[in-house]
Structure formats: structure tokens, C-alpha cells
Amino acid sequence: MTGAVAAGALAGLGLFLLALALIPRRVSLARQIAAFDSGHTRQSARREPRALSEKESETSRRVGALAARLCAEQGWEFPSVKANLSLCGKSFESYLAGKILLALFGLIFAPILAILAGLAGIRFSLVIPVWMGLIVAGIFFFLPDLDLKQKATARRRDFRHAVGSFLDLVAMNLAGGRGVPEALMAAGDIGSGWAMWRIRDALTNARITGQTPWQALGALGEDVGVEELTDLSAALSLVAEDGAKVRESLTARAASLRRREISDLEGKAGQRSQSMLIAQMLLCVGFLLFILYPAAIAVFNA
């Protein structure tokens, strides 16, 4: 009975997918515009330098492109995910391909184990591997999100540290008599590291496209999800004509970033101290049990 139900469900799913593929869909104008914008964004993203090298197979590239096109047609934008991907130097297509392929692997993992168990002589109900496959597929589907969030948090912290150094360099260049655009470009050329490279590329592209440097910094801040760059862009657009006010504002912002970084480091140090204290207490409890166990056994056996 269970086999017949499973076969009927698979046959119905196949007929549904066949009908869905044969019947042409009428795509709305909004979805067509969203798909065009997504394709244009991918074209421009290919021209930007990536912070990390990506090695993708042809299958994963096709799967990611199809999934990204489907998301664009449906109007699903995922701004926070795209900001994290831009910060980590990964494409939206590779991210979607990883999620889908991992979910498929988790879906077939439990049935493969069930087949191996059947060959070994272990018999159990067909419902167990089906549910196990669905649960493992769901877990594997969300694993890239956790990994991306952890990497983006670490890289965003490093980016804020680089922004603080960048502000100090800009303030020193302003004190030397340079204007705001020249000071921004000079500070970007002095710094090194992947965060400074992103800032330098944004300022260079702004010069080519005719944007102001603070507009480029604001766009970069929105792209990678770093609020400090967005606030810096707004502040520079207000006081770009007065070098003294700009220098004072940048110095104050750099000091504020350093204080925030120090407070974060102190909080992490406190958490690690508490973890070490708990580990030491557990070690002491284990040592006491090791000492008291023979005495307790001797008392109970007396």
C-alpha cells in the first residue's frame, strides 16, 4: 500500500511538472523589468573584481543562473543576502546553486543509506527514509546561509576597521592642504588590503562615471551593508566645501569607530573569560568525582 501511494505521488508530480513545462506562462511587465535589471546587474558584477576566487562547474553555473532568473521574475530581491555576498566576493548565482545542490544531496542521502541498510539485511518502513531525506535536505538547504552570515560578519568587522584607518588618512591629507576629492583618492591609494581595494575601485569608478567620491562611497556602503560608509557619504555631501569642518568630522568619526571596535573586543574578551571559567569549573568537578568515586564505592559496598 505504501509503495503504491509513493508511486502515485511520483507519477502525479511528474505529470504536474510536464504540464507546467508545456503550458506557456504569461509573464507580467514588472517581472520582465526585474529580470532585465537582474541580468544587467550580473553583467556589471562580472566586470567588478572579486575578493575571493570562485571555481564553479558548468552544472552549478546553469543551476544558479536558472534560480536567479526565477527569483528575478518573481520579484524576490534578497537585499541583505546580496549585501553579504558582495562583501564576501561571491555571486548570487553560485549562492543559489550551492543551496539547491546541497538540498538535493541531502534529499538523496537518506534513501541511499536505506538502500545500503536493505542490502545489509536491515528492514524498516519506507516512511522513515522519506522523512529523513526531507529533514536532511532542509538542514543542508540552510547551511550556506549560516556560513555566509559568519563570513560576512567577520569581513564587515574588518571593513569597519579599514574605514577607520581610511578616515584617519583622509584627515591627514586634508590637514596637508588637499581638497576633499584629492584627499579621498590619496587615502585610497595609500591603504592596502581587500577593503581598501574596494574603496579605491569605487573612487576610481566614480571618477570615470562622473560621480562625486562621496556618492561612490555611499553606493559602496549600501552594496556591502556597512552603515559607516553611508553615514560618511551623507556627511561629506553636506560639508564638502569646508575643509576644516570635514577634517573635524572625519577625526571624530574615526575616534568613534575605534571606541566601538575596542568595546566589541572587550565584550568578546569577557565572553571568552566566562567560557574559560566554565571549562575550569567542569575540570574541577571531574577531578573531584575522580577522587571521591573510590571512597563512595567503598562506603556503599561496606
Q: Which residues 6+ apart lie within 8 Å of 43 measured at CB?
A: none
- pLDDT on residue 243: 52
Model confidence pLDDT, tens digit, residues 234-276: 877 776 555 556 777 777 777 777 777 787 777 777 877 888 8
Q: What is the pTM of this model?
A: 0.62
Whether the CB-CB separation of 91 and 85 falls below 8 Å is answered with: yes
Model confidence pLDDT, tens digit, residues 94-113: 898 888 888 888 888 777 87
Q: How many CB atoms lie within 10 A of CB 104?
A: 14
DSSP 134-200: HHHHHHHHHHHHHHHHHHHHHHHHHHHHHHHHHHHHHHHHHHTT--HHHHHHHHHHH--SHHHHHHH
194: cell is 581587500
| Mean pLDDT to the nearest integer, 152-168 | 85
Crossing angle of helices 227-239 and 127-175, rounded to 10°: 30
Q: How many CB atoms lie within 10 A of CB 145?
A: 13
Element (H, E) at 276: helix 243-301
| Mean pLDDT to the nearest integer, 156-180 | 82
Residue 16 has pLDDT above 80, yes or no: no
Domain ranges of the chain: 156-260
CA distance 218 to 232: 7
Residue 149 has pLDDT above 80, yes or no: yes
Maximum mean pLDDT: which of 38-42, 45-49, 159-163: 159-163
Q: Which residues 6+ apart lie within 8 Å of 170 measured at CB?
A: 183, 184, 187, 250
Whether the CB-CB separation of 216 and 78 falls below 8 Å is answered with: no
CA distance 210 to 223: 19
